[in-house]
Structure 1
């Protein structure tokens, strides 16, 4: 039997769900995240279980959106190592570009002592996705110091990018949402690693971690997984130990097609880690 294409399935789910506008999406900058990796057929079952209790985000006429994120790290991959070692105080820094509307943002994701995720961001429309402006450096430095008591590393540069499509489902009865990602491709200017086309990466985001969707997934026999797009991308592209992400890495990314594309020489130069690059 041919595998279902998760991207096509999500487009169909989004097309028939009730729609809500961006103003009705709970922001949830401080939240509990739970991630799941499911087959396209399981996603179809989940959508049927949720029914019209959940709506889909619509902006303009679009319900499925393309995202591109560029992650920053030190030359020795400090933030990757902090996550691999499960440090209680850690962070990730990225620019995120909403290719179908929504502009570009600089996002700082913080993990504190209580295990919650706290995301801070600033608009970044006027800057390159691969550069840190003076304002960005000040924002990151001040936030890390005040929130995690961490000193910002002196050397940060673009390490890799991830591209994918996303459908966002909104719980109509409470402050929760579910992001559904398909078509992931990780690339660093030298190699690339695409994800399997028949899988969906789900992320349940809620204030207390008790969203309806988590209960439905448990009923379907699906359990949360430990995964970070950035960390599995680093492990795959640089052949580094993945530790607790290894089961997801082996299942999600396709080793048979990894390293099959070579971006331009200009892109190769831009993705090498280096000292802070400041846009004046």
Structure 2
């Protein structure tokens, strides 16, 4: 299946949903401290999932579009120290990235940390779009403050841009249940020397809730889809650097190829 057909199928699946605006999304489902569950969902199963969620979720539409272009630049050391921290399951680990909203020209700098109960703690600040592939002095100040506050440690001084991910994202929100689904297609992982395109007939769904599994997680379980325990960044590093160890994720990586 081509990315064009996937985009058409996604739009058709989301068209019947009630519309939610961006300010409503930000107000009702910020979920900066949350539990994330990730699923790699065949497109046909995704269509069934959306059919079952129409009565409780709304879809984000802006200017007649429900799919938006994103680019994330991740920062790590040359020897992938942050990746190795995730591989080893260290409690004090983090990811650092810029995220560009290519359709609007907005950009933010984000740090994601793991809390004491495995919840994700995300902090962000606005960031200049032209600087998205580098860390400014203000970025270092932000990173230092967050790591000192949460972990009592300084940042890794050797951080630099490691790779970029591009994709198209659609968003579903439960306005009353404090839950959100992000649905990513057309994923591409890029490093300076090469890139990897993820198969176009799957949707990377991330369920973001304030705690227990939500309605979408229950439906996915009924449809036979189980969560995968891996981050988009770790998948990208492993696919772009096949000589790196990725033992915990070998079966998951096969789903992306």
**Superposition TM-score, scaled by structure 1 size:** 0.86
Aligned runs of 1:227-266 on 2, under 5 Å? 227-239=230-242, 240-253=244-257
Q: Report deviation, 1:127.
A: 4.5
C-alpha distance in 2, partners of 1:169/1:219?
19
Could you say which residue in structure 2 is the equivalent of 1:270?
none
Name the CA distance, whole Å, in 1 between partners of 2:9 and 2:82: 34
8 Å contact kept, 1:34–1:209: no
Cα-to-partner distance string for 1:182-230 (whole Å, 9 max, x where unaligned): 0000010101110000001000001013211011111111111112111
Out of 205, 210, 213, the position equivalent to 2:208 is: 205
- Residue 220 of structure 2 aligns with which residue? 217
2:193 is the alignment partner of 1:184: no
Deviation readout 1:9-60 (Å, 9 max, x if unpaired)? 2122222221101122110000000001110010011011112311101223
Partner secondary structure for residue 110 of structure 2: strand
Distance 1:31 1:217 in 2: 19
The structural deviation recorded for 1:173 is 3.0
The answer to whether residue 33 in structure 2 is matched with residue 34 in structure 1 is: no
Cα shift at 1:3: 8.5
**Which of 145, 150, 174 is 1:171 aligned to?**
174
SS at match of 1:92: strand
Change (3 A) 1:73 1:215: same
Task: Check whether the contact 1:68–1:163 (CA below 8 A) recurs between aligned residues.
Answer: yes
Determine the structure 1 residue equivalent to 2:15: 15
Q: Does 1:53 align with 2:72?
A: no
Equivalent position SS for 2:131: coil
For residues 178 and 102 of structure 1, do their structure 2 counterparts lie closer, same or farther at Cα, with a shift above 3 Å needed? farther
Q: Give the whole-Å Cα distance in 1 for the aligned partners of 2:98 and 2:212.
A: 26
Aligned residues: 252
Structure-2 separation of matches of 1:127 and 1:186: 20
Q: What residue ranges of structure 1 are gaps of 5+ in the alignment?
A: 254-280
Q: How does 1:68-147 map to 2 (within 5 A)?
A: 68-101=71-104, 103-125=106-128, 127-147=130-150
Distance in 2 (CA, whole Å) between partners of 1:205 and 1:160 is 24
